[in-house]
């Protein structure tokens, strides 16, 4: 399990140009999660970055985050929407075409899809691969964020196959220099988007 100070990590990623963050903590207390999310929300707001809280719609609302990211076993989108309102983003992790299309129908603002590759960060089920990413992109109109095992070596292929963005943890936070790794990832994504158009 990665042990990185969330605020320091965000500051280094912000310096690298990253402007979309999700705070994910599966082991901490709700009070601890709230306190950290509160600090990260303020930090991201000062930098005019987007900040999303994982799983907890109530905490996202309490810290004035820009939205919440749900899992398949979390609060249904329609009920999360009642909590966070229409002005905040709701994203949801999906692992099949059915889940992706259902999420769009239920009002998700974006979906995460994967895992594209094997990952030790979370148990997200069967690896979906690049081909399924392309199918998802052709089947939904909302932005698709690729998740699961994405690295500096694979991110170009992911973007070229339609992903609107990528969610990464280990590829950045497990490296000795978070800012440098984030800068590399950001540069590859930017170049791949240009190549795709």
Q: Distance between CA atoms of 161 and 78, rounded to whole angstroms?
A: 30
Residue ranges of alpha helices (H) inside 75-128 are 77-84, 97-105
**Helix axis angle, 97-105 relative to 129-139, nearest 10°?**
30
Question: Residue 142 is part of a domain; what is its CATH number?
Answer: 3.20.20.70
Q: Does a structural domain hold residue 71?
A: yes
Number of domains in the chain: 1
Q: Is residue 134 part of a domain?
A: yes
pLDDT tens sequence across 44-96 = 999 999 999 999 999 999 999 999 999 999 999 999 999 999 999 999 999 99
pLDDT at 196 over 90: no
In a domain, 1, yes or no: no
Task: Tell me whether residue 51 is in a domain.
Answer: yes
> Range of 184's domain?
6-196
Establish if 53 belongs to a structural domain: yes
> Looking at the domain assignment, is residue 135 inside a domain?
yes
Phi and psi angles of residue 4, each rounded to the nearest 5 degrees, phi first: -130, 140
Inside any domain, residue 101: yes
Q: First vs last Cα of the chain: how many Å apart?
A: 37
- Please write the tens of the pLDDT for every residue from 6-46: 999 999 999 999 999 999 998 889 999 999 999 999 999 99
Residues classed as catalytic: 24, 93, 122
Q: In what order do the strands lie in the sheet with 144-147?
A: 20-23, 50-54, 67-70, 89-94, 110-113, 144-147, 165-167
Residue 100 falls inside a structural domain:
yes
């Amino acid at each position: 399990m990665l042990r990185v100070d969330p605020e320091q990590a965000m500051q280094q990623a912000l310096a690298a140009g990253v402007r979309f963050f999700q705070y994910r903590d599966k082991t901490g207390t709700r009070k601890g999660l709230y306190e950290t999310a509160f600090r990260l929300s303020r930090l991201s707001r000062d930098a005019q970055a987007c900040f999303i809280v994982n799983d907890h719609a109530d905490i996202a609302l309490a810290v004035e985050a820009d939205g919440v990211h749900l899992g398949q076993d979390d609060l249904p989108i329609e009920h999360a929407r009642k909590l966070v309102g229409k002005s905040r983003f709701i994203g949801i992790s999906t692992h099949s075409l059915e889940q992706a299309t259902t999420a769009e129908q239920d009002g998700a603002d974006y979906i995460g899809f994967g895992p594209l590759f094997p990952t030790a960060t979370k148990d997200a089920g069967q690896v979906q691969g690049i081909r399924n990413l392309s199918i998802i992109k052709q089947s939904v109109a909302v932005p698709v964020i690729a998740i699961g095992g994405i690295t500096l070596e694979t991110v170009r292929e992911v973007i070229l196959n339609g992903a609107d963005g990528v969610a990464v943890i280990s590829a950045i936070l497990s490296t000795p220099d978070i800012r440098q790794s984030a800068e590399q990832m950001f540069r590859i994504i930017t170049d791949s988007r240009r190549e795709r158009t």
